[in-house]
Structure 1
């Protein structure tokens, strides 16, 4: 079973119709639509409702979670006019929460058919005429809560987020003589090919791409030098494989980040002196492999 989350029914409606999902008539705290392959929940706006709906969904249908299961969040977002066009869709590889300043990273272990982007999750809508400095990236209100809740049930490579730009930090207006609700649905309907392209990609089995000998040597060297735990080593390996799949480049290039003038490695040393230095190095590698 593949699980899907959307904040608003107008966002969900085009996908519900395309997939032929039927509403679950049982009384539930969140509307549920499903067929034999997909289950979709409509959460309501905001990261708290998004997180609550995911926990409910995955607990309620825990018997439907199998090795091939994963979860998708999709919906509209705002973005700066200078860099993004209305109607564009993006696969999200980093989510920053404005309230806590924390960041989380979905692991993308496949070559995305659509562009990737960073996303900022905020607690209230951002409008151009209400703040002095606008964010320089995509903005939504759900993704951080969605990811944090989903992470309790799935590894980060089984969590995907697709956002479609609906506005340039302005209040959404009616379009083509239709109301705002239908305008939201229109945005998603036009973005369905992008959303479906991500929905159609199965989760990686983990053995489809292997590191070459030079990459394995780089992984071993970094693990020893940064004094990584086994969990951190596995994370690093996943990042390296994901980078290789997405870019076609050798993941050995991560060494250049640590060896750069502003990097972590001092080749005269045999390893970092403190755990803090090790974490700093691991963070730099994550930024490189997942950017």
Structure 2
């Protein structure tokens, strides 16, 4: 079952027309469209609406149904990537939340016909590189050096989706709509940008998940790993997040050994900060 999340109607409209999806009747706040086993949700702009919409949608399904669901967030984004053009599409392999400083690592679609990928930075406000009367947040030249694509929902989508759906089922893709000139795109322009990349993405979206949803990881590999790292004394939250990353690697690279950190250095971990750094470095190896 594939599901799509869009911030605004003009992003979603081409997909709604392509699938002939119709609004469903439910008790929630957000607009959800359905055609057979395909779902499209319009969340409204911003991190909070996106996170709430993902949660509301997820609660329409049981845990076993969610395991089999491919979950994507698509939409437009501003670009500060050199030599790019309006309408270019990128898969996102890393998201940085500008306000919290947290990093997230979505699935990289290696089999996609569209091979370009980059980093997305999520802001709480619209972003510009020049002063303007539209009250955009203006970034300095130094801040722009670390920016590729920008949006206002990506980090919230991924953080919320990863609470309900397997990490390996989640993906984010963005179409360049502007170069941070402090202007808003017209609805017709947004629709055209999405339409131009719809056909190849649609075929990939409706394809079944490329891995089995069996529980071999749960019954064999995770219990063995959990024993090896028992001395780390992870909190339940840290253990849950690490387990998702390990399962991601296991399903993505079924013929490879799961990379382990140097377990002999565990006695050198003296503080909570040391532990967080140790786990983060390990997770970085799992999201290659």
Q: TM-score, normalised by structure 2?
A: 0.75
Alignment of 1:82-231 (within 5 A): 82=82, 84-108=84-108, 111-113=110-112, 114-130=115-131, 131=138, 132-133=140-141, 134=144, 135-172=146-183, 180-203=186-209, 204-205=211-212, 223=228, 227=232
Per-residue deviation, residues 29-63 of structure 1 (Å, max 9, x unmatched): 2222111111211111111111122222222x225
Instruction: Give the match's secondary structure for 2:163.
Output: coil
Aligned position for 2:247:
238
Instruction: Give the match's secondary structure for 1:151.
Output: helix
Check 1:56–1:236 CA distance in 2 against 1; reply closer, same or farther (3 A cut): closer
Per-residue deviation, residues 190-237 of structure 1 (Å, max 9, x unmatched): 111353254134333256999xxxxx9xx97xx559848675774453
**Could you tell me how far apart the structure 2 residues matched to 1:172 and 1:273 are?**
49
Gaps of 5+ in 2: 132-137
Matched, 1:72 2:81: no
Aligned position for 1:16:
16
Instruction: Give the match's secondary structure for 2:279.
Output: helix
- Whether the 8 Å CA contact 1:95–1:118 is kept in 2: the answer is yes
Instruction: Give the match's secondary structure for 2:197.
Output: helix
RMSD over aligned Cα atoms: 3.6
Check 1:100–1:279 CA distance in 2 against 1; reply closer, same or farther (3 A cut): closer
Aligned position for 2:134:
none
- Whether the 8 Å CA contact 2:79–2:176 is kept in 1: the answer is yes
Aligned position for 1:261:
none
Check 1:27–1:266 CA distance in 2 against 1; reply closer, same or farther (3 A cut): closer
Which range moves more in the overlay, 111-120 or 72-81?
Answer: 111-120
Check 1:57–1:225 CA distance in 2 against 1; reply closer, same or farther (3 A cut): closer
Aligned length: 264
Moved over 6 A (4+): 207-210
Gaps of 5+ in 1: 175-179, 211-215, 259-264
Q: CA deviation at 1:12?
A: 0.2
- Whether the 8 Å CA contact 1:272–1:278 is kept in 2: the answer is no
Check 1:142–1:236 CA distance in 2 against 1; reply closer, same or farther (3 A cut): closer
Q: CA deviation at 1:148?
A: 2.4
Q: CA deviation at 1:65?
A: 6.4
**Could you tell me how far apart the structure 2 residues matched to 1:64 and 1:282 are?**
27
Q: TM-score, normalised by structure 1?
A: 0.74
